[in-house]
Structure 1
């Protein structure tokens, strides 16, 4: 059975002065094969918007020509993004310290592969349940594990000042960890894929699920419902947001 992908996207600066998120996607005319790329330039560092843009452009250049071995192609894309940043920093030493997260998802003939670095999430909604597919390269995981072990309270974990500290990032040097899907993940008709930057974390994961399930079943309506819910919170600390919603048809 041929599966097609209906895709919609949105971006917001939130309460930030600069938009450091970058999003790009491309699908063939059939809607069966394509890719999604999202990057979140490191806030508080120099030239985060440049870092995210360079990374997305490098990955786009790599994925634009489909290959049979998607994991190898995704690994090449991450390496190219990292090398591109290294070369830019070498030519522009004032940008030393810039970096970015990255999520790249390839959809091909009913299967998906992905590569990610950092904390930008990639979710699957299926059978009225939500699952994060990619790894979270931030201190949030370790802090939550401490709470589960009773070392700190749930409240302390939720408010921990280092929750958002990244444990892996693209900065032009060694990458501590890359989450690379090496075996195909099969998608199904009705699946909803949400690729986003961490600005989406203004919604708790069950809120996100409820909003997605209650929206009309089109990618643009689901995407609009999520962004409207985030805007309605009027969070004075709202981070940049980039979101791409893909509905499998």
Structure 2
């Protein structure tokens, strides 16, 4: 049994100026998308039949194949504007068609929602539970006359016979569209939607309702045939062309979300059963991404290096080894380098001339600098400096040579003065890297360290 059908009659006219288009995703699927378009060429205008055909074809073509709008109403309005533009282009190409135009009703059924765009006076009806009413706006002068009837300015009989009652306030002419009706309504099982041209108004609303109800159990094409037969039975002189499209909403349908749709409605509503699956899948995917990102960015904390112990020389006395500072070589994670800037002519003196039994530590003498007294401790000798990053750090003082038997030692005052000038030992874990950095090994400045 067909759910969608369209039929038309010529009436008492010489040519057919009505056109219609039906597009459905699947005739056998009660839940598939359905697009219904009907247009009525304006009577008395040159090329009315051309105008209605151009508008129907271009409207359906844009809606199904060209449109990029995801919202149904936006797509309907864009399709109407595209059809009007195509009409204007055809008039510009063929000057003899100047003045042609038509009405338009474009309706889309998606799931249980009916949406439409309407321009002109072609009616759209909804029959539900024993009631029939018009759902789209009437852009003819007759609608304004009815406003006058409700306001008490004229009678119903005067409005029905007014000579300008069929004049249009809005239509597609290839120029700016004055009035557009854009709306939607929810459908229920058993609803019957009727789209038609104004020739159907030969029947009163009650007569039209009767034809729908007498065909309640019939297919959509049977309903359309019964309505047109009733119009012809009236025998009205100069009966206008009449077109009737019927859609019977028999069940709550949902288009297949995983199957391609002829309407390409990427913005259609999802069913309630699909929504939890979408949110659940999104949450799982997001959690997996976060875990992966954490695993990729996590790094091991490097262990702190231990400071190597330096044994005293065999010839050093126990007191001297206990009191002198210990030079640290390669402490922390960085390397220690001697600053290589010129210090003048250098001389290396060997401590063996002093009669040391063990290998003595060398002392340094430079021109233009104060020389250490041979009888004094070498704690005031020149200190090398090291670079770390962009700053320069002083190293601990050079180990003094072992005390010679019977040689006088520096007194406590001199040792205290040297202790104040010495650089305190750094932590074994401090190097050229930024302290506490777990995610980068970039060298930091002395202020950062």
Q: By the TM > 0.5 criterion, same fold?
A: yes
Give the alignment of 1:109-124 within 5 angstroms: 109-124=111-126
Give the alignment of 1:87-166 within 5 angstroms: 87-166=89-168
Q: Aligned pairs, how many?
A: 244
Once the two structures are overlaid, the 10-residue window that deviates more, 22-31 or 145-154, is 145-154
Give SS of 1:71's match: helix
Once the two structures are overlaid, the 10-residue window that deviates more, 6-15 or 63-72, is 63-72
State the partner residue of 2:13: 16
Counting strand residues as a fraction of each chain, which structure ranks higher? 1
State the partner residue of 2:239: 238
> Cα RMSD over matched residues?
1.5
**Is 1:192–2:189 an aligned residue pair?**
no
After superposition, the C-alpha distances for 1:17-59 in whole angstroms (9 at most, x for unaligned) are 1100001101112242120000001110010011101100111
State the partner residue of 1:229: 230
Q: Which has the larger radius of gyration?
A: 2
TM-score, normalized by length of structure 2? Answer: 0.53
Partner Cα separation in structure 1 for residue 129 and residue 146 of structure 2: 26
Partner Cα separation in structure 2 for residue 116 and residue 135 of structure 1: 7
After TM superposition, give the deviation of residue 223 of structure 1 in Å.
1.2
After TM superposition, give the deviation of residue 69 of structure 1 in Å.
1.2
User: Post-superposition, which runs of at least 4 consecutive aligned residues in structure 1 deviate over 3 A?
Assistant: 65-68
Give SS of 1:64's match: helix
Partner Cα separation in structure 1 for residue 49 and residue 196 of structure 2: 16
TM-score, normalized by length of structure 1? Answer: 0.94
**Is 1:27–2:24 an aligned residue pair?**
yes
Once the two structures are overlaid, the 10-residue window that deviates more, 58-67 or 91-100, is 58-67
Stretches of structure 2 that go unaligned for 5 or more consecutive residues are 251-449
After superposition, the C-alpha distances for 1:95-121 in whole angstroms (9 at most, x for unaligned) are 111000000000111111100100000
State the partner residue of 1:173: 175
Q: 1:7 aligns with which of 4, 8, 16?
A: 4
State the partner residue of 2:47: 47
Stretches of structure 1 that go unaligned for 5 or more consecutive residues are none
After superposition, the C-alpha distances for 1:108-155 in whole angstroms (9 at most, x for unaligned) are 111111001000001100011012111000001111122232322221
After TM superposition, give the deviation of residue 230 of structure 1 in Å.
0.6
State the partner residue of 2:208: 208
- Higher relative contact order (CA closer than 8 Å, sequence separation 6+): 1
After TM superposition, give the deviation of residue 233 of structure 1 in Å.
0.8
